[in-house]
Structure 1
């Protein structure tokens, strides 16, 4: 199927050209993982074919708008690394990119449909429509408009308009819908006139409905391919009737299978646990989220963990997208984040950004507790990241209580150490004697060996108790990384100081 797409958009040189796709969310809620996935597939498709990725805000349902969500959606696309080429913020050649600012276009299209007889004015009151709905439900039928105002003569319509009666404009659905080829679901055809009443395309408030607005905008913005959720598949025949009535060539359609919860339930904007802003605040990397939401679905030569955006673009093949819904297991996200975080820590070009982020977070969380500014030094932060790489799932982990010892010195009463071993002073002297001549570049392996070798001089205390005593002196914790790891992380000088403080307190 993809070969067909490419042939339609090839230049004489064979280069794919003219591909324009759009992500068109409604700013009635903040961006969630389902929306991110739709945006990502559009972005990847555009980059794969050297095309343009458009963000358009479909805000014609004024009653459901949530203030700030439009700006937040674009912020989150920027954060995720899939910024649009054209958008409300960036502008572009076919703007504006917000439907509430394009009303004149929809009214022109509506007038065209009214003049051709493809649309008509409807004066049915909300009360009558509610009665129709209740009657259908009582009869166990699907509610639908009965097309009553189709029968109005031109004179009757004119009289009602002169009386300034409230009205909407409906599109006249016709029998004989032509099949269309979906790039994912194959040949499709929905005889909408047999199951639906004529749909409203222009509401009484002067704003268009989704069906008219998306058709007009996709045409005016020269959208070549519409990649959207499979829930819109059944509406596509209706949209194709609108294209035909307006005399416009439709784009090609590709309906993406749904992204569902692990239990098969639909993701919702109202689920706080799937909102992008929440993931960002929790310390998840955008690269991990992009990898995660593509890994659970289809459309790539293979599914493997650890892919970055460039690899996703390279491996994408729309013909590989199946019609099976993708199931999202959020419990696996932490592992994806650990992999991408480790990669960024290892990268000399990416690590400085992590260092700056961690410096800012440490200062914000611990504030006045940071008695020693050295813990904010770049070299120290880098050492922490490199030594804990693979042990942490996100930078936020390093701000948890179990890692507080990394940033602030613990207060450990001498009595606690003596309760572990009566030889606390002797153990402290031996270990400090071991550490004081050491350089900053200790290794865990070397220290483990040397700590083991000290055991012969601590005949009154078992090795496990020695480690327990040292861990408590270094971190104030009963559990955590090995003592050798702590010493390497803190450095010999700081380790000595903490042990000295603990035994003399």
Structure 2
């Protein structure tokens, strides 16, 4: 059974009338909109749009399209619209519209006009604009640019299946042979015969101008006339997209490269509707590192929300997609790490490349570390929000220590490990040495321990240092580091080692005892983070483990 909206659209198409007002230009007003001249748009404030379909999560390519539209609007003093294109009813995914709106909000991409913040071109959801498409379709039929096709859809599907199996194109009847006159069409409609509305594609080469790809000449089309309105009464993307872009006074369309082959059709629709077309800029596709198309089938994440869920900063994700397919060199500072405001200042559509961009996740990890550090250094709400998520990650990993994770304690930990974890979620792994005992039996730990002759005296020296340090000195990284370096110099001189070897050995052996990891914060920082009690506990445990190993090694073989 058709929905009310679909039935309304069918009635409008059959009877040649527009339905109730659901758009800016319903009925006769819609037809007047279609007849606007190009002069009416001269000097108009730039208007761009992001028009996703709620058929799944927001793809990285979609996020970049939204970002570039936002940047273009902000830099040109224009307006950025968000329109939901939900006419493909079979592919709608529940919750996907809310999900993509949430991602845009997290990334700070706030549209000037949208379903929740309407302007004078609403509604901003296509399923609420059916009368507008009906009026446009009526005009196309009346002017001879479109026709009703009553051929059974099942037969068409059977032909396509046969073509797929035989790899041979089934000759389609001449379109003039299948188009009934108006009297016959009305008789078939009265009988309840289903039909689609097709566009008469001009059979001629088309030269198009694109802001990214330049001038391109497309050969004349030999494909079937495309469907504008399906048999269920819903418009296809091509009709709804062109009608809405004109009715919403869109001046520039920035969209993915995959729509470039459809541009001749869209320009032909603009011409048939007597509408001035907007300027077009097609953005290069995003590819995997190996050059294959970025998709779920290739493995890894392709959706923005997956990266955000892993702990990547929204600012870093925006920065990442901004670098793909766009040259930012030459801007002030010439730095790859950019805030949204810095992107606005440095963006130019002229710098968008038509070379397809590859996904290098090492770059994303680098950018994320930089943006986390920026937030922490700048303080304010952004730093507080970062620390809040870090606390959640730490408490989620070690719930027994949750009560000890005060804001100041979390900030101390985050500042100490900053630059090592790639994401806020990884802070819990990087700081795990504070919450779990080291494993001194690993090959990494054995290599780190080094010379067994100096291990025990080095650890006893560290214990003495922790014991004699005052409360203030135990919190002073510089004092602790200087004291250990002084001991290292004495050890170096006593053993006749080369300059610097003493410090290297001492710090490595204390790191072995405290963390059993070859990498991490400086030893002075580790001692401050642990505090005297935990440091003593670790040093004693490491000495006991070393003694146990030595005893086992000394036992005679059985």
Give the alignment's TM-score, normalised by structure 2.
0.77
Superposition map of 1:172-191 within 5 A: 172-176=200-204, 179-191=207-219
Q: CA deviation at 1:147?
A: 2.6
77-86 or 61-70: bigger deviation: 77-86
Partner in structure 2 of residue 168 of structure 1: 196
- Within 1, Cα distance between the matches of 2:41 and 2:272? 25
Q: CA deviation at 1:287?
A: 1.6
- Within 2, Cα distance between the matches of 1:20 and 1:147? 38
Contact 1:32/1:269, CA 8 A, preserved across alignment = no
Contact 1:439/1:492, CA 8 A, preserved across alignment = no
- Within 2, Cα distance between the matches of 1:144 and 1:79? 50
Q: CA deviation at 1:448?
A: 3.0
Distance 1:393 1:361, change over 3 A: same
Distance 1:452 1:321, change over 3 A: closer
| Partner secondary structure for residue 383 of structure 1 | helix
1:387 and 2:427 are equivalent in the alignment: no
Q: CA deviation at 1:195?
A: 1.7
Contact 1:132/1:145, CA 8 A, preserved across alignment = no
1:284 and 2:318 are equivalent in the alignment: no
- Within 2, Cα distance between the matches of 1:91 and 1:155? 42
Distance 1:339 1:164, change over 3 A: same
Distance 1:287 1:108, change over 3 A: same
Q: CA deviation at 1:38?
A: 0.9
**Aligned-residue RMSD, C-alpha:** 3.4
Contact 2:473/2:480, CA 8 A, preserved across alignment = no
| Partner secondary structure for residue 452 of structure 1 | helix
Of 328, 334, 337 in structure 2, the residue corresponding to residue 306 of structure 1 is 337
- Within 1, Cα distance between the matches of 2:192 and 2:348? 54
- Within 1, Cα distance between the matches of 2:104 and 2:152? 41
Contact 1:409/1:498, CA 8 A, preserved across alignment = no
- Within 1, Cα distance between the matches of 2:466 and 2:475? 16
- Within 2, Cα distance between the matches of 1:437 and 1:365? 29
Q: CA deviation at 1:361?
A: 2.5
Superposition map of 1:102-117 within 5 A: 102-117=129-144
- Within 2, Cα distance between the matches of 1:391 and 1:240? 51
- Within 2, Cα distance between the matches of 1:256 and 1:19? 18
- Within 2, Cα distance between the matches of 1:44 and 1:142? 47
Q: CA deviation at 1:282?
A: 1.0
Distance 1:436 1:99, change over 3 A: same
Of 344, 351, 354 in structure 2, the residue corresponding to residue 323 of structure 1 is 354
1:403-430 alpha-carbon deviations (Å, 9 max, x no partner): 2233x364899xx999996669844641
Q: CA deviation at 1:30?
A: 0.6
1:242-291 alpha-carbon deviations (Å, 9 max, x no partner): 11222222111111122222222222266551211110111111221222
Of 59, 68, 93 in structure 2, the residue corresponding to residue 41 of structure 1 is 68
Distance 1:314 1:247, change over 3 A: same
Distance 1:367 1:332, change over 3 A: same
Of 382, 390, 394 in structure 2, the residue corresponding to residue 358 of structure 1 is 390
Gaps of 5+ in 2: 1-38, 441-445, 496-501, 546-558
Partner in structure 2 of residue 58 of structure 1: 85
Of 197, 200, 213 in structure 1, the residue corresponding to residue 227 of structure 2 is 200
Give the alignment's TM-score, normalised by structure 1.
0.84
Partner in structure 2 of residue 4 of structure 1: none
Runs of 4+, deviation exceeding 6 Å: 7-10, 142-145, 416-420, 457-460, 462-466, 500-505
Partner in structure 2 of residue 435 of structure 1: 469
Contact 2:368/2:422, CA 8 A, preserved across alignment = yes
Superposition map of 1:144-159 within 5 A: 147=175, 150-159=178-187
Contact 1:123/1:167, CA 8 A, preserved across alignment = yes
Partner in structure 1 of residue 16 of structure 2: none
Superposition map of 1:402-441 within 5 A: 402-406=430-434, 408=435, 410=437, 426-427=460-461, 429-439=463-473, 441=475
1:336 and 2:367 are equivalent in the alignment: yes
1:85 and 2:117 are equivalent in the alignment: no
- Within 2, Cα distance between the matches of 1:114 and 1:304? 54
1:320-340 alpha-carbon deviations (Å, 9 max, x no partner): 223211122223221121122
Of 516, 522, 528 in structure 2, the residue corresponding to residue 488 of structure 1 is 528
